[in-house]
Structure 1
Amino acid sequence: MTSTDSQPFLSVKDLKVHFSTEDGVVKAVDGLSFDLVRGKTLGIVGESGSGKSVTNLAILGLHNPDSTKIEGSIELDGEELNGAPEKTLEHLRGNKMAMIFQDALASLSPYHTIGTQIGEVYRKHTGASKAESRARAIEMLKRVGIPQPDRRVDSYPHEFSGGMRQRAMIAMALVCDPELLIADEPTTALDVTVQAQIMDLLKDLQQEFGTAIIFITHDLGVIADIADDVLVMYGGRCVERGPKAEVLRTPQHPYTFGLLGSMPSLDGPVDVPLNPIPGSPPSLLNPPTGCRFHPRCAFAEKVPDGRCAKESPLLEIVDGRGKACHLTDEQRREYLTDTAAKAH
């Protein structure tokens, strides 16, 4: 079954990922739903521990089944992945879906050359010969902008710079032309110049291949550069989602307000202080009742009857915009007006 441009290539419905530990059950992801079409980038943003990486490891089927309970549906091009045999997932990983990890040095084997590691993926999924795999590795290194690829194919990871290692990871992820690419904070450890180069590379490759991309980050500046749509996660749940420009320009959830308020502005007054979110992310062993953000939310007291602490808000989707918040539209507009006044 092949999806059309109007149908989601990836569809996640009511995903729950719970880990069994000695201290109890960790509800790392607790009822997450989203769709992604071909050729588009979904940016997933949130603090550490919000469930971003756990979600994408579940899509790839990389969790330990002995200690992890996964519920819900994960459909890739119409094929259900949750509960699929490991042999099926092994065929899909690298071939139809692939992941770029945050730490390239930790993800690459120090004992094998870059070319060997890229070529091994290609051989596994295509049955190509060693000579064909080496030629493909050189081709991919050239495609991701590695200079002298016919020579650097025999280099080891420690002989590459951080930016070059990340490019090599991208080459490995794309060697079999996957239709879904998951990038887990791939530019976090890189300087700004190299980060921009990697972002441009991903956009160029997406345009060339029509790849669907999930880009995980805690940096809204990166989201502004690369994403088409944004999904904001907090405490294992989606609290806001929608088109990038709309979410960044008119956020609808207090947590998204807080993330934007924590960022310095390059075009605003230099004397405006940052406004960090107070408190700490919730424990997913024992998450707060009601809205999981309410202990840190400056607006919880504005909602009558203590509703934020008692009742978990539903994610309401209207014209592609979604929010999980008890605040009224009027209260939200008042906040945005006050914030804009303080900024000027």
Structure 2
Amino acid sequence: MSAGTSTSTSSSADTEARVPFLSVRDLKVHFSTEDGVVKAVDGLSFGLERGRTLGIVGESGSGKSVTNLAILGLHDRERTALDGEVLLDGRELLTAAERDLEALRGNTMSMIFQDALASLSPYHTVGAQIAETYRKHTGASRREARARAVEMLRRVGIPQPDMRVGDYPHQFSGGMRQRAMIAMALVCDPELLIADEPTTALDVTVQAQIMDLLRDLQQEFGTAIIFITHDLGVIANLADDVLVMYGGRCVEKGGRAEVLGVPRHPYTLGLLGSMPSLDGPVDVPLSPIPGTPPSLLAPPPGCRFHPRCAFAEKVRDALCSTRRPLLEPVDGHGTACHLTAGQRREYFADYRAARVN
């Protein structure tokens, strides 16, 4: 009896361990405009475990930031139609009351925005803004909050934090402002951190420092991180898993090595072909993806990438232009594409050969 109970308990524990900390299921985010309904996110699903980093990549307008604003509950509910399910440690967020979301934001989940200068108030010192976040969620005294602000500035690598805590944002460099934003986002030890292109406006040296900082802090706190970017080079250095978005949908997702090393969707292949390689020949030309991203007011039927896809005409029965491909994971690597595995091997190899030659 005890052995059976032990087995049952172990099985239950294993099942619980596999439940992602953040679970997004069939998320839809639609905006009503004078021209019609914008389907900014249209049926997106993914999971994220504690201590791991999910990189979300795609062109501007693919739905990356809209997705994460929905997770944080920052959309105007009167003008936005939200559907699906977003569970954070088992708590439903899409239908949560605003007061409950306010208690979670900055505490259990937090966000680093792209433009630190625009995100920080120019009228208050950096330290005061970090301290206010800490006081709001912990009830700490002003003295305790200021000490915590100094500690966080030191932790993110700001020199002389006990002095710089009294500086205003304009007195910080771009890299220091971004570090201050990270300090503010982490001041309450959040379990989920969303970073929305936090290194875009920074030079490559500061970018590398910020990524190292995020890795170190993740190891220290066990934080789950969503990193939004259009830069596959950043993703290659930071993410554990990759989700590729196009036209408000996920077209490919899986482990970093699989998605970037052996892409299965033509869009992912196109993104990789449009960025320079540090390992290959220096004279290989870049291959930009032809055309423009789809209008989300009137997206194309079937696969939303098919008007720009070099391989769509090779699929039988014009499936690409008529039927939406489902994301079918194989060994944890999924792609929403009508190409067969054999077709991908043949056509993608020809594509790479053409680039080299």
Normalising to structure 2: TM-score of the pair?
0.94
Please say if residues 5 and 37 of structure 1, whose CA atoms lie closer than 8 Å, have aligned partners that are also in contact.
no
Is 1:154 paired with 2:166? yes
Aligned counterpart, 1:316:
328
Aligned counterpart, 1:225:
237
Is 1:87 paired with 2:99? yes
Alignment partner of 2:266 out of 254, 260, 270: 254
Equivalent residue pairs, number: 343
Aligned counterpart, 1:123:
135
Partner deviation per Cα, 1:187-230 (whole Å, 9 max, x = no partner): 00000000000000000000000000000000000000000000
Aligned counterpart, 1:305:
317
User: Identity of counterpart residues, as a percentage?
Assistant: 78
Is 1:104 paired with 2:116? yes
Name the SS of the counterpart of 1:35 in structure 2: strand
Is 1:328 paired with 2:340? yes
1:4/1:143 Cα in 2 relative to 1: closer, same or farther (>3 Å)? farther
Please say if residues 5 and 38 of structure 1, whose CA atoms lie closer than 8 Å, have aligned partners that are also in contact.
no
Question: What amino acid is aligned across from residue 141 of structure 1 in structure 2?
Answer: L
Q: CA deviation at 1:340?
A: 3.8
The 5 A counterparts of 1:234-313 are: 234-313=246-325
Q: CA deviation at 1:5?
A: 4.5
Please say if residues 230 and 243 of structure 1, whose CA atoms lie closer than 8 Å, have aligned partners that are also in contact.
yes
Is 1:194 paired with 2:198? no
Question: What amino acid is aligned across from residue 120 of structure 1 in structure 2?
Answer: E
Aligned counterpart, 2:9:
none
User: C-alpha distance in 2, partners of 1:18/1:211?
Assistant: 29
Name the SS of the counterpart of 1:275 in structure 2: coil
User: C-alpha distance in 2, partners of 1:341/1:85?
Assistant: 54
Note the aligned Cα RMSD (angstroms). 1.2
Question: What amino acid is aligned across from residue 212 of structure 1 in structure 2?
Answer: A
Partner deviation per Cα, 1:237-281 (whole Å, 9 max, x = no partner): 000000000111110000001000001111211221100000000
Partner deviation per Cα, 1:13-49 (whole Å, 9 max, x = no partner): 0000000111110000000000000000000000000
Partner deviation per Cα, 1:141-187 (whole Å, 9 max, x = no partner): 00000000000000000000000000000000000000000000000
Please say if residues 199 and 226 of structure 1, whose CA atoms lie closer than 8 Å, have aligned partners that are also in contact.
yes
1:200/1:118 Cα in 2 relative to 1: closer, same or farther (>3 Å)? same
Name the SS of the counterpart of 1:116 in structure 2: helix
Alignment partner of 1:141 out of 127, 140, 153: 153
Please say if residues 19 and 28 of structure 1, whose CA atoms lie closer than 8 Å, have aligned partners that are also in contact.
yes
Aligned counterpart, 1:180:
192
Structure 2 residue runs of 5 or longer lacking an equivalent are: 1-12
Name the SS of the counterpart of 1:252 in structure 2: coil
Partner deviation per Cα, 1:278-319 (whole Å, 9 max, x = no partner): 000000000001100000001110011211111110111122
Is 1:77 paired with 2:114? no
Name the SS of the counterpart of 1:75 in structure 2: strand
Normalising to structure 1: TM-score of the pair?
0.98
Name the SS of the counterpart of 2:41 in structure 1: strand
User: C-alpha distance in 2, partners of 1:112/1:302?
Assistant: 59
Name the SS of the counterpart of 2:18 in structure 1: coil
Aligned counterpart, 1:23:
35
Question: What amino acid is aligned across from residue 325 of structure 1 in structure 2?
Answer: C
User: C-alpha distance in 2, partners of 1:190/1:246?
Assistant: 28
Question: What amino acid is aligned across from residue 197 of structure 1 in structure 2?
Answer: Q
